Amino acid sequence: MSLPKPDRDQPELTTSASVQAEASLLFNQMTTSLVSQVESLSPIALAYIGDAVYELYVRTCYLIPPKRLADYHNQVVAQVRAESQADYLQLLQPYLTFSEQEIVRRGRNAVDKKPRRISAQIYQQATSFETLLGYLYLTNPQRLDELLAKLKINSSKLLT
């Protein structure tokens, strides 16, 4: 089977460099669009996603070695409590970029209800932590992984 001969009237195939440039431009446009859409979300919506992301991350960290379900649950609950999240936010503060600090500030300022069992300050910090995680999950998962790794939740983590 022979390949068809190129038609001289058809445009020349694009070079690898131009294809890469077009792909890069398209990716940047999509990323910019996604970031602007995410930035239009309320901090509470970002915290809602961040809460789920963080709990799944913590659950995954405690899967190895195998344990009873009640043991998993107790370890996870200890990590996802507002007090623990507030402590983790303080631990991450030196590593946050200016834009990440702004997301944290937005999360803190979004809290308008009075919590029942903890102080308002702890609740604000926990909500800020979840807001940051939700934002990074949607816009920069690699950065999210970097920050979560700094928490060192469990030395036998499955996630890197």
The pTM assigned to this predicted structure is: 0.74
pLDDT band at 159 (very low <50, low <70, confident <90, very high): very low
Please count the residues of the chain: 160
Q: What is the pLDDT of residues 50-76, one digit of tens each?
A: 999 999 999 988 888 888 888 888 888
Q: Where are the alpha helices (DSSP H) in the chain?
A: 16-39, 43-61, 69-80, 82-92, 98-110, 120-139, 141-151
pLDDT over 60 (residue 7): no
d(CA 154, CA 16): 44
Domain ranges of the chain: 42-151
The domain made up of 42-151 is a member of CATH 1.10.1520.10: yes
Q: Could you list the active site residues?
A: 51
